[in-house]
Amino acid sequence: MSSFQARQGSLKIVDAAKVAARGAIFVTEARLRNTLKWVWLIIAIAIANPVLYLVSIGLGLGSFIDQNAGSTGVDGVSYLTFLAPALLATAAIQSAVDESVYPTLEGFKWNKLFFSMNATPLSGNHIAMGVFFNSLIRTVFTAVLYWFVMLAFGVLESPRAWLAIFTAIMAGAAFGAFMQALAGFLENENVFFTIVERFIIMPLFLFSGTFYPLSSMPIFLQWIGWISPLWHATELGRWLTYGSEISTTMLLVHFIFLNSILVVGLIASRRIFTRRLGK
Amino acid sequence: MTESLIHARGLTKKFGDFTAVNGIDLDVLKGESFGLLGPNGAGKSTAMRMIGATSQRTSGELTVLDKDPEAFGPQIRAHLGVVPQQDNLDTHLTVTENLYIYGRYFGLSRKFLKGKIEELLTFAQLEEKRNSKVEALSGGMKRRLTIARALVSEPEILMLDEPTTGLDPQARHILWDRLFRLKEDGVTLLITTHFMDEAEQLCDRLVVMDKGSIMAEGSPAQLIKDFSTKEVLEVRFGSERNAQMADELRQLCDRIEELPDRILMYTEDGEELLERVYKKDFHPKTSLVRRSSLEDVFLRLTGRTLVD
């Protein structure tokens, strides 16, 4: 008895050229199925995160600051309005990093899923891009929800405030791609958690002009903001949401910086994934 | 002449100073079931990864389906089904989803996969588990699912790295049965194993590997004929007396092997040899006459047993 009714054989049914062209989409599809297993948790995080931050820090700390500095005391606006675009970018970055780093560590090490993908016509490039696209989709979702919560809090003053969604996504994509490359590069995941999270991600969050203007930091600490996608996205976000003053040159610098990190991160991810799979 | 699907000459892989695969020659023909038999660390998995077009060779010649894996990796992998040593299923997804996404990696259409998945679930005896998450499956079920997954694209060559390691005897037999059916269907199989019974059951032809090199090649029956006797008499005198008795027993047959727990005596007629052992007034605690196996071939070739 034959197990398979009408075996045609891979030579007939598999088209390697099709996979070469659309492999990244196939990986994205698989990653999305994974992500959707936690969809309720993702929705809960995407809503609870802005609500909790905006209430506790924005309103709590904000009312204290506004009492002392006046309701236009920070960069000409209330503290909540000043803070919100930074938190939007932070949330986008956080979800991008989560969705890039964990699948990468898992795929190379924990369940070695990437090796099973690489045993098909898929290459390291497809896998790296698939992980990135899935992360990007989650980042878009997070940023859009965050933006609506900001709208509810009444911190979006400018008519072009909706564009801040895109600058936040840009920061998330850039940081996510960079961290994906790093997670693929570091073969010992403990290094990632103990060093990268504590000494890179955390300081960037605290020193990126998130809670106060970067210019109020001593000059020798301001460089941390300059290398941080978060600061660049926050500056763009402030300009878009409440019209914070910014020169055209600086707009270009922020835009070019974020996109350069994105391109470098993606190229590095693709190379690192391909090299590690081929060892 | 039958077509050679895998052709290797002097195939070598080095990691730094360490030579994992040391100049091996192979030819796997269409429709045959070919084995790489050897202990852990013999270089079998490394050889498999080079043939599977995921690891680049250091030197030597290699063609798989008439293509060089170095230049045509994805084009070769499109026609291979790979079952790695460790199951690397997507444990968060269900059985059906695992088969589906893997089929998508080969660019197969949703419509084709719908029918194919039903076939594979039947083949792997997982119909009732179709909607279970992979993490809830037993070891044997996961293994069968990994094999089913490798078959989703109807590969020209199915490569299995230690297919039954870690499975209980019943699960192994179910798996062998499935692999045997594939063989009957004309699927070319390339199998690594360190179980001689598995090699004898499944392989038409095999190479015995040790420390990265091929020690011998042939059908299981031919290898046994070339490197061993028809039968083996196993005797045990207790661990203290085995060494002392070995010298005495050497006079009774051409070749003996001393293992820590027993002595193997190679002969054409085991019962007759046992009689002579008793006539000499040697009284082993236990004795067993059996047919020679690939284990004996390996012992002869390397002086060591397959499973340490």
Interval A134-146: pLDDT, tens: 999 999 999 999 9
Say yes or no to pLDDT of A16 above 60: yes
Smallest CA–CA distance, residue A97 to chain B, in Å, is 20
A27 contacts in chain B (CB < 8 Å): 105
pLDDT of residue B230: 92
Residues B117, B135: Cα–Cα separation, whole Å: 19
Q: Is B181 on the interface with A (CB under 8 A)?
A: yes
Residues A214, A244: Cα–Cα separation, whole Å: 14
More confident residue, B79 or A76: B79
Mean pLDDT of the A215-226 span: 88
Sequence-separated (6 or more) residues with CB below 8 Å from residue A95:
A42, A45, A46, A135, A138, A139, A141, A142, A172
Closest CB to B88 among A23, A116, A279: A116
- Chain length of chain A: 279
pLDDT digits (tens, 9 = 90+) for A162-203: 999 999 999 999 999 999 999 999 888 888 778 888 888 888
Smallest CA–CA distance, residue B53 to chain A, in Å, is 8
Q: Name the region of B10 (left: φ>0; alpha: ψ -120 to 50; beta: rest).
A: left
Asked if residues B55 and A278 have their Cβ atoms less than 8 Å apart, the reply is yes
A34 contacts in chain B (CB < 8 Å): 90, 92-93
- Please spell the DSSP secondary structure of A115-173, one letter per residue: HHHHTTT--HHHHHHHHHHHHHHHHHHHHHHHHHHHHHTT---STTGGGHHHHHHHHHH
H, E, C per residue of A232-263 = HHHHHHHHHHHCCCCCHHHHHHHHHHHHHHHH
Smallest CA–CA distance, residue B35 to chain A, in Å, is 20
Question: Which residues are paired to B11 by β-bridges?
Answer: B24
Asked if residues B236 and B262 have their Cβ atoms less than 8 Å apart, the reply is yes
CB atoms within 10 A of CB B238: 11
Percent of chain A surpassing pLDDT 70: 98
Q: Which residue has the tokens 């052992």?
A: B277
* Below-70 pLDDT ranges, chain B: 1-2, 307-308
Closest CB to B77 among A3, A26, A119: A119
Specify the DSSP element, H or E, that contains A27. helix A16-36
Mean pLDDT of the A109-119 span: 93
Kindly indicate the confidence band of residue A1, based on its pLDDT and cuts at 50, 70 and 90: very low
Smallest CA–CA distance, residue B203 to chain A, in Å, is 19
A111 contacts in chain B (CB < 8 Å): 88-91
Task: Give the chain A residue whose CA is nearest to the CA of B50.
Answer: A278
pLDDT digits (tens, 9 = 90+) for A226-269: 999 999 999 999 999 999 999 999 999 999 999 999 999 999 99
Contact state of B54 with A111 under an 8 Å Cβ cutoff: no
A37 contacts in chain B (CB < 8 Å): 92-93
CB atoms within 10 A of CB B124: 24
Closest CB to A3 among B54, B74, B185: B185
Q: Is B89 on the interface with A (CB under 8 A)?
A: yes
Q: Name the region of B214 (left: φ>0; alpha: ψ -120 to 50; beta: rest).
A: beta
Contact state of A120 with B102 under an 8 Å Cβ cutoff: yes
Q: Which of A21, A145, A42 is nearest to A102 (CA)?
A: A42
CA dihedral A171, A173, A174, A175 (to 10 degrees): 80
- Chain length of chain B: 308
Smallest CA–CA distance, residue B74 to chain A, in Å, is 4
Closest CB to A123 among B74, B88, B106: B74
